Amino acid sequence: MTVPREKLIAARKEMGLTQEQLAEKVGINRAYLANIENGKNTPSLEVAKNISAALSLSINDLF
């Protein structure tokens, strides 16, 4: 699963969340979220679902 980083970053910022805040909501550490946003890591399906839920978006809208 590839992550369109611009969508993820834009959605996080639109919600007014820092990487630290979103990572806490998702249950991952900030460094892992930063790596997902930078394209260095690909999230598991579960993490992708949790990120989408935390941002109140469909997984299809975000990923």
Give this prediction's pTM: 0.88
Residue 14's contacts (CB-CB under 8 Å, 6 or more residues apart) are none
Q: What is the pLDDT of residue 61?
A: 84
Assess if residue 63 is contained within a domain: no
Count of domains for the chain: 1
Indicate which CATH number applies to the domain containing 41. 1.10.260.40
Assess if residue 54 is contained within a domain: yes
Q: What is the pLDDT of residue 3?
A: 52
Q: Which residue has the tokens 């959605």?
A: 11
Q: What is the pLDDT of residue 33?
A: 98
In whole angstroms, what is the distance from residue 11 CA to residue 5 CA? 10
